[in-house]
Amino acid sequence: MLRQVVYISSATQHFSAEALDDLLARARANNERSGITGILLYHDLSFLQIIEGTRDDVDRLMARIKRDPSHSSIRIVQDESISERDFKSWAMACRLANAEEARVMANPPLKLDRGFISSLVPQLSSPVAQIFVGQVARAVG
């Protein structure tokens, strides 16, 4: 059985484009080894992350995330069993949140609508990391 966890957290610092790129590279490598898929949204020092995998793999990743000093105020929004992955092609997709996603990140409902989660998938493109880092670099610089 697969599990999907959605959490929000606060970044403890502003990330430069290089630091975000490094974070994504490490996350992707670790997630590929662990069989984890998902997406990370970033907006104004806030993260919303959806992770998918086996119960044990997700538990191990959540334990690492809770120890990660780049996050604070971690709040699990949703934790449920799923029959198939929403992000099966992504060891970790990442991009800046649009206005609606930023609103959800700021005030998440008790349970995210499956439509919201599945709506993220078609918005992804293969060079998503470069797009994300480029947008952050322009916003910071």
Q: What is the pLDDT of residues 78-101, one digit of tens each?
A: 899 999 888 887 766 665 566 777
Residue 37 per-residue DSSP state = E
Comparing CA positions, the residue from 43, 39, 51, 103 lying closest to residue 76 is 51
The answer to whether 31 touches 91, Cβ cutoff 8 Å, is yes
pLDDT at 113 over 70: no
Q: Quick one: tokens of 138?
A: 């322009």
Residue 6 near residue 52, CB atoms below 8 Å: no
What pLDDT is stored for residue 14 in this prediction? Answer: 77
In this structure, are residues 87 and 122 in contact, taking their beta carbons and an 8 Å threshold? no
52-74 residue pLDDT tens: 999 999 999 999 999 988 888 89
**Domains identified in the chain and CATH numbers:** 2-140 (3.30.70.100)
Mean pLDDT is highest, among 27-41, 51-65, 106-120, for 51-65
DSSP letter at 16 equals: P
- Give the model's pLDDT for residue 96: 59
| Mean pLDDT on 100-122 | 68
Question: Average pLDDT, stretch 41-59?
Answer: 87
pLDDT value at residue 119? 66
Tokens 């992000």 belong to: 87
pLDDT of residue 5: 92
Helices marked H in the chain — which ranges? Answer: 17-34, 55-67, 99-106, 114-120, 128-140
